[in-house]
Structure 1
């Protein structure tokens, strides 16, 4: 049943962007303080990674049904992945209505995606751990982007740049922890680096851009050390 549920929720996740209005970030009307160019948000091109994530998760779900329906090692990671993707299937509708609830839900997506990655089977890496890692890596960035934009948009404690510094730092802390703990973290690290490069492109060489550059270096270094230590 878990294999089939994974396929069903993944299909719903894949269909969601086709059934909702395009989402390009929280609009000015959704936030008390407009955030037209939030510094914590990567340049728009970076969001194209979702196409790869959707496709790879779909291939993984089909393979799981055909070849790994009763595999206990896959099942150990399937339940948190099902929760994450099921929440993700509804996320676009929520994001178009409420930045606060969207932020809460994307952190639920991230937490459960990380649980799936940390419990991913060590075999069939290309079929499970790799796509889930890419998904979880992008969510590590996206959850912090959502928090940063919503926090600044509601005028909580910091301005837009303060939230950007905080959320990039939080994303790096999460990323380093996951890279050190996950059995496979190459695609996870790649997604985090991709998002950080997008932040550099969006900001140029200001303090936010420099912090993102530091994050790229740290993420790549920890990922390389983890990869070589297991080789």
Structure 2
């Protein structure tokens, strides 16, 4: 049976990515189900949902992934790029599928189902980043490690927000505990788990999107009387969390000999 060439795989990856972008645009604009992603997010707003400006990171993520895919297409005959394409392709196609299904289910306010898909995205991205690290000596990894490192970090914090949105959607009472208590607990758990995960990924940019999201949470808190709504714990936890995540990223960058992942 004839194997698929790396050139064909590169085209498949790029086409899948473009389809994903189109679905993202349709859901963000409210074309699907008449509600934009922002409207759904506001309806199920949580105490760890960042301010709107923080979501601009999607533009950076998709730009870097797009450039990475075009690079793979143009350089598909080079040995290290060939290996990269063969490693990335099957996992990345599933990522596009999970991304599309998450967008559609979230737009239709199927928050529980969307939580499943975003966790599948997270597992998928952790796997991609682990592959990039494990095969780093055999592949051209520099651009893709930045793109998928940022992507993975952002989906990590987005998964936590999605969990809280789901709990709000089912009117969970928190076992009698206020959201001002369990929201920072989930944020703390996210910081701890992401730090532990990155001990395996060794990616210097993975933790930065989480710090960026927390910054967005703090800025949202500073809007008017929001501090009384958020309670006394998120602000200090957020400030300490940002400091820890940034310092750990700098340490990882130095450990990697000033590269995103170690050569």
TM, length-normalised to structure 2: 0.76
Does the 8 Å contact 1:179/1:223 carry over to 2?
no
Q: Which sections of structure 1, spanning at least 5 residues, go unmatched?
A: 29-33
Q: Deviations over 1:189-229 (max 9, x none)?
A: 22111111111112246311222222212212222222222
Q: In structure 2, which of residues 66, 79, 85 is the aligned counterpart of residue 58 of structure 1?
A: 66
Q: Which sections of structure 2, spanning at least 5 residues, go unmatched?
A: 31-35, 258-263
Q: In structure 2, which of residues 186, 208, 218 is the aligned counterpart of residue 167 of structure 1?
A: 186
Q: In structure 2, which of residues 81, 95, 114 is the aligned counterpart of residue 102 of structure 1?
A: 114
Q: Deviations over 1:91-128 (max 9, x none)?
A: 22110111111111111111101110111153544421
Q: 2:198 matched to 1:187?
A: no
- Measure, in 1, the Cα distance between the counterparts of 2:103 and 2:152: 17
Q: Deviations over 1:105-162 (max 9, x none)?
A: 1111111011101111535444211111111111011111010121133233524334
The 3 A distance-change label for structure 1 pair 209 and 82 is: farther
Q: In structure 1, which of residues 60, 82, 87 is the aligned counterpart of residue 93 of structure 2?
A: 82
Does the 8 Å contact 1:137/1:189 carry over to 2?
yes
Does the 8 Å contact 1:186/1:223 carry over to 2?
yes
Q: Look up the match of 2:166.
A: 150
The 3 A distance-change label for structure 1 pair 78 and 108 is: same
Partner of 1:209, secondary structure, is helix
Task: Answer with 113-122 or 100-109: which moved more.
Answer: 113-122
Q: CA deviation at 1:188?
A: 1.7
Q: In structure 2, which of residues 24, 37, 41 is the aligned counterpart of residue 23 of structure 1?
A: 37
- Measure, in 2, the Cα distance between the counterparts of 1:83 and 1:170: 27
TM, length-normalised to structure 1: 0.86
Q: CA deviation at 1:75?
A: 2.5
> How many residues are matched?
224
The 3 A distance-change label for structure 1 pair 19 and 186 is: same
Q: 2:196 matched to 1:177?
A: yes
Higher-Rg member (1/2): 2
Does the 8 Å contact 1:140/1:174 carry over to 2?
no
Q: 2:19 matched to 1:12?
A: yes
